[in-house]
Chain A
Amino acid sequence: MIKKFFEWVISPMGRVAVLIGVLALFSLATYGISQSQASPPQPLEFRHDVHVTKGVQCLYCHPGALRGPSPGLPTITKCWGCHQQLAITKTSPRLEKMVALIDPATNQPTMGFEWVPVVQVPDFVHFTHRPHVAAGVNCEDCHGDLSKMEIYENPQVFNMGFCLNCHKEKAGDDQEKLTKLTDCGTCHY
């Protein structure tokens, strides 16, 4: 039996089989990674492209990026502020979900959307938007061109290499700046 196995492995068919097996493993791993980057289901398929092309500033809905670590996700109150004036609000089937949440009597939302954050860095990475915005990094530098995204997706894997490349680039030849920007303690504590 063992003998057969040996012979089979050595035979061309066997080698091909082994190769296929290895490939399968790799593709499985890659699939896992890609899955972790896919956008989670949202309570309402918010269309970034429409809003961005209409000229809505990112910071209008995500003002936290100016002040602190997290840009913040807008509550429905903010959405309704504009949308109550728009004709499309009545017509669009996509927006029915939102309209349903508005109490016609008070014209105030009864409850908020529970947005699911898409970009998630692990706990051990302490990322703060403020200094990045202050340093003149544009939103699209990391989050991609949202005028072309119907539903937001991460343009790339937010891993350490992605951060470091940019940090090194920004530091340039400035040794002190490089030290600060490549210091483990800058993000990990």
Chain B
Amino acid sequence: MSEKISRRDFLKLASAGAATTAVLTGCGPASRYVEREPYTKMPEYTYNGLSTYYATTCRECAAGCGLIVRTMQGRAIKVEGNASNPVNLGKTCARGQATLQGLYNPDRVGSPTKQGRGSSVSPMDWDSAIQIVADALKNNTPSEIAFLMGTGSDHLFDLVSDLANAIGAPAPARFGALSMFESRATLSKAAENLLGQSAMPFFDLANADIVLSFGANFLETWLSPVAYTRGFAKMRRGNPKQRGYFIHFEARMSQTASKADEWIPLLPGTEGLVALAIGRLVAEAKGGATPEAFASVDPLEVASTSGVKLETLEHIAQLIVEAQTPLAIPGGAALGQSNGLSTAEAVLALNALTDNFGKPGGVFVSPLSPNEDAYHRPASALEITEFISKMKSGSIKALFIHGVNPIFELPKSFGFEEALGSVPQVISFATFPDETAIASDYIFPDHHGLESWGYQRVATGSMQPVLSGLQPVVNGVYYTTTDPDTGADTSELLYNARGTADVLIAATQLAGGKFAEALPFKDEVEFIQSKLVNLISEADGSFSAPEINTFTAYFQQHGGWWKKTAELATPSASSVLSKSVNAETAQFAGEGEFIFLPFVSPTLGEAGANKPWLQELPDPTTTVMWNTWVEINPETAHELGITNDDVVEITSEAGVVKAAVYLYPAIHPGVIAMPFGQGHTAYGRYATSVGVSEKFMDLVPTSQYVNGGKAFPRGANPADVLGAHFNEAGDLAFAGMKVEVKKTGEKQVLSRLESRIGVYGEGMGEEH
């Protein structure tokens, strides 16, 4: 009845007094308050209530899964997988699904902002913004300009590399928390050492009949989770006659481990030894001479050091001997050790022993992505520390940051924040007001992934070379104001963002001279076309086009370009076995009775904390929502007098972090684990936590909201206690820290989906 009222003035009413709304609800439609009026000035076809679908690529991680986004009336409504993209074949992970909440996140940077390192926040227009970028480029000697970029948005990386080359600036450094926790550098180094080429190995999970995973959490965040999950499913149930068997070695039961038929907890850092021991047992069982690689290990000794029973090792070896296509995967925390590289090599050697290189269900080398000359792996932690020392030394005058949040993602001990202080000018292209953006001089907000052009290389995850394409699915986020008298709607742009590529191109044009020559493009799209143009001639493509414009159109329509047939390279197994692998137990830094095992939260990933629905997703193994927890084995906790929801202080040589305890029945007694992803001090209202009292009345704009001192961290960041220790490949030895655990006496009740009564039998008198 009171439809007009509720439609027009509802928001006012909602804030004015809910009592009125109660009445409205009573006699009016149940949910008319949602403004579903179309944006004004829309083309006619958007009015008839039909959806339009656009193909693009997910930018929540670097895997490059293809998406089909359903849009309606100029809004992106639902993310679906692109069924034809070889990486994900129509599937998506939770983070991909929630990417819309990034696009429509209320905490996006509204306009180019003069941040002044958080001191003086004032909005500005794009022209002056571009002027500032141009000056930064022009007024500094090229060698003093540095670019720090995330693992996403490859086209921007290419553009910046070209720019850097042309003007003689150092090549951009790429980095991401995921690449740090995945130890990509270690993997590619191991591949280089053993397989002869520095590339991502590809593990053909789908066709293996028994899989040994040494810490590789490929169902969560590792490399290309969706692709590997598909492979896992095929391994399990693809072959109707035989169900694939899966054994996982890790100190804690990760989500991946929870799917294993046998989860074998061991002392962190002994994965390599275990691999070698198994290899030796297999070799002996097969008979013949024990290869050089396994000669040095003594299974019995390994059993005692790693804590894995000898029978178990023998039993596994037996399984491998009987298996048709066994496969061993190194990854995750196993590589984040001082001996990570040798662990990787040991596991690859185990594969070589079972002679599965280049065979179905075996180890391959991922094909290079189209228009890629060589595999550009992200910078290892060691290289980042070098970069930071360069910053400290003051040899960097202007720093451009895009797509990465080092203040949050890097260990405190690297001292990035301090180093930032010695850089005169820091320009951030962040979409969200994250820690790094706030600490920089300017924020020139980039589009969200769903609003931007581009392409994403697929480093691993598909058998074919794949180049996933991005295109804007919506042209910006608008808000509609309604004239209370006439009822006429008018739409305004809510987030005045601009593609960083466009900004750089415009800036170089403005700067003129060699800068203008460096990027001789009208806009971003023209640059992308210049990168695609040589694909036209490529054979065996998913589509072909006579000339570049048609090609680009198809490229966007199909959401990328890929080869029809697999182009997996077969590594040479010859040298692997003869080369001796010197795997010894890992070195642990610092004092303390516990080994600290950080892992990337499966639901949040590296940057999901500002998406409310990812926060609301229960962690697969602990079902904790909206917060950080510390996993401790119940027995250990009992000895320490710690129980659930006790806030403990975790002290390492590098720092201290506080979080609430979750008594986790499936973790090594000598290990405590903690998820990475929470603990933001900025990055929006959902990533930080706000006092309940002000929660419901606080109406100030979010730009002031989050860094206005009102917000305090939600959860804790394990990176705070990580020291600067690296493995042989230069990756961070994040699992190589010893820590002290102290009870603080505080309590913080963790929000769990599970019932502590039903699942742990609390208060039931006896377990049920």
- Chain B interface: which of A1-9, A72-80, A136-144? A72-80
Within 8 Å CB of A70, what residues of B?
A: 47-49
Is A16 an interface residue when CB atoms closer than 8 A count as contact?
no
For window 18-48 of B, CB contacts with A under 8 Å fall at 28-32, 34, 36, 40-41, 43-44, 47-48
Q: Report A153 CB to chain B, min CB distance, Å.
A: 14
Q: Report A178 CB to chain B, min CB distance, Å.
A: 26
Q: Report A180 CB to chain B, min CB distance, Å.
A: 22
Cα separation A124 to B489 with both chains bound (whole Å): 23
Cα separation A124 to B34 with both chains bound (whole Å): 12
Residue of B nearest to A69 (CB): B49
For window 72-95 of A, CB contacts with B under 8 Å fall at 72-75, 77-78
* B44–A116 touching, CB < 8 Å: no
Cα separation A32 to B27 with both chains bound (whole Å): 11
- Chain B interface: which of A17-25, A33-41, A46-54, A168-176? A33-41
Instruction: Classify the interface of chain B: helix, strand, loop or mixed.
Output: loop
* A124–B31 touching, CB < 8 Å: yes
* Residue count of chain A within 8 Å CB distance of chain B: 29
Within 8 Å CB of A41, what residues of B?
A: 486-487
Selected contact of A123 from candidates B32, B44, B487, CB within 8 Å: B32
- Chain A interface: which of B2-10, B383-391, B662-670? B2-10
Residue of B nearest to A62 (CB): B48
Is A177 an interface residue when CB atoms closer than 8 A count as contact?
no
Is B699 an interface residue when CB atoms closer than 8 A count as contact?
no
* A64–B47 touching, CB < 8 Å: yes
Residue of A nearest to B50 (CB): A68
Is B700 an interface residue when CB atoms closer than 8 A count as contact?
no
* B3–A63 touching, CB < 8 Å: no
Please encode chain B, from 441 to 467, with 1 for each CB lying within 8 Å of some chain A CB and 0 for all others: 000000000000000000000000000
* A67–B36 touching, CB < 8 Å: no
* Residue count of chain B within 8 Å CB distance of chain A: 25
Residue of B nearest to A35 (CB): B4
Q: Report B74 CB to chain A, min CB distance, Å.
A: 14
A-B contact count (CB 8 A): 67
Cα separation A142 to B658 with both chains bound (whole Å): 65
* A73–B29 touching, CB < 8 Å: no
Cα separation A68 to B45 with both chains bound (whole Å): 11
Within 8 Å CB of B7, what residues of A?
A: 120
Is A122 an interface residue when CB atoms closer than 8 A count as contact?
yes
Cα separation A75 to B42 with both chains bound (whole Å): 9
* A116–B487 touching, CB < 8 Å: yes
Within 8 Å CB of A67, what residues of B?
A: 48, 50
Within 8 Å CB of A128, what residues of B?
A: 49
Cα separation A112 to B42 with both chains bound (whole Å): 9
* B44–A75 touching, CB < 8 Å: yes
Is B1 an interface residue when CB atoms closer than 8 A count as contact?
yes
* A63–B48 touching, CB < 8 Å: yes
- Counting chain B CB atoms within 10 Å of each CB, the highest count among A78, A111, A120 belongs to A120
Selected contact of A36 from candidates B2, B30, B31, B488, CB within 8 Å: B2
Selected contact of B30 from candidates A32, A63, A78, A122, CB within 8 Å: A122
In the complex with contacts A123-B34, A123-B36, A43-B488 CB distance below 8 A: yes
Within 8 Å CB of A124, what residues of B?
A: 29-31
For window 45-102 of B, CB contacts with A under 8 Å fall at 47-50
Please encode chain B, from 405 to 421, with 1 for each CB lying within 8 Å of some chain A CB and 0 for all others: 00000000000000000
* A68–B41 touching, CB < 8 Å: no
Selected contact of A32 from candidates B2, B40, B47, CB within 8 Å: B2
Q: Report B31 CB to chain A, min CB distance, Å.
A: 5
Cα separation A14 to B230 with both chains bound (whole Å): 80
Q: Report B381 CB to chain A, min CB distance, Å.
A: 51
* B1–A36 touching, CB < 8 Å: yes
* B29–A72 touching, CB < 8 Å: no
Is A114 an interface residue when CB atoms closer than 8 A count as contact?
yes
* A114–B49 touching, CB < 8 Å: no
* A68–B48 touching, CB < 8 Å: yes
* A64–B49 touching, CB < 8 Å: yes
In the complex with contacts A36-B1, A75-B44, A68-B486 CB distance below 8 A: no
Cα separation A122 to B4 with both chains bound (whole Å): 11
* A36–B48 touching, CB < 8 Å: no
* A123–B486 touching, CB < 8 Å: no
Cα separation A112 to B43 with both chains bound (whole Å): 10
Residue of A nearest to B6 (CB): A122
Cα separation A72 to B44 with both chains bound (whole Å): 7
For window 452-508 of B, CB contacts with A under 8 Å fall at 486-490
Within 8 Å CB of A69, what residues of B?
A: 48-50
In the complex with contacts A32-B2, A111-B41, A112-B41, A64-B488 CB distance below 8 A: no
* B4–A123 touching, CB < 8 Å: no
Cα separation A63 to B30 with both chains bound (whole Å): 29
Supplied contacts A68-B48, A112-B41, 6 more A-B pairs, CB within 8 Å? A32-B2, A35-B4, A67-B50, A68-B50, A69-B50, A122-B30
8 nearest interchain CB pairs? A64-B48, A122-B29, A69-B49, A70-B49, A72-B47, A72-B48, A68-B50, A123-B31
